[in-house]
Amino acid sequence: MLYTIGVGSKNPAKLKAVKRLFEPLGSAVISVDVPSGVSAMPQSDRETRQGAVNRSLAVLRESQAEIGIGLEGGVMDIDGEMYLCNWGALSDRNGCTITAAGARIKLPEALRDGILSGLELGDVIDRYAAKKDVRKAEGTVGILTNGRLPRDDMFYHIVTLLWGSYEFQLK
């Protein structure tokens, strides 16, 4: 089936992940700049997931796409340790919304401390890695895995989970 897939972001890593899956299937992928509706630095799985859902639904409201994809990064706490978390949501025009989560990786104390001081992870990782716009390239996960898992690959995994689940439900 050919669809127009709307991605609720202009972030190159998120777009690359969605295009990698859907363009070979013959679907068009468009970028739709929509808000997450959650804080700039989501602080839990619940908030990060909600941001992804909000983006996927906003894509459908703001475009002609048949399917909206929302991808959101955040952090979450387990027993006083801060982890990177990532969520995705796929919504269609029939009212179906599917969510899936991605990899988790413990953040070094310097990153955790920056976030706890009120900064966004994107700003903290730029300083930590002495780079600019890490969130648009390899992402924090790419830095912390020494380049072995860049952000677009992590989001590709989530998009693949979403699409496979959606296809399964269509059976």
* Residue 150 · residue 157 · CB < 8 Å: no
Predicted TM-score (pTM) of the model is 0.95
Q: Is the dihedral of CA 104, 107, 112, 115 positive or negative?
A: negative
For β-strands 67-78 and 4-7, DSSP reports them as parallel
64: Cβ–Cβ under 8 A, 6 or more apart, which residues?
4
User: What are the C-alpha distances in Å from 124 to residues 78, 92, 143?
Assistant: 20, 35, 12
Phi then psi dihedrals of residue 124, to 5 deg: -70, -45
Name the amino acid, one letter, at 91: S
Domains of the chain: 4-106+150-170 (3.90.950.10)
pLDDT at 163: 98
pLDDT at 171: 84
Q: What share of the chain is helix, strand, coil (3-state, %, to 5)?
A: 45, 25, 30
pLDDT at 10: 97
Burial of 84 (0-12, 13-18, 19+ CB in 10 A): buried
The tens place of each residue's pLDDT in the chain, 171 residues long, gives: 689 999 999 999 999 999 999 999 999 999 999 999 999 999 999 999 999 999 999 999 999 999 999 999 999 999 999 999 999 999 999 999 999 999 999 999 999 999 999 999 999 999 999 999 999 999 999 999 999 999 999 999 999 999 999 999 998
* Residue 71 · residue 155 · CB < 8 Å: yes
pLDDT at 28: 97
pLDDT at 75: 98
CA distance 34 to 2: 23
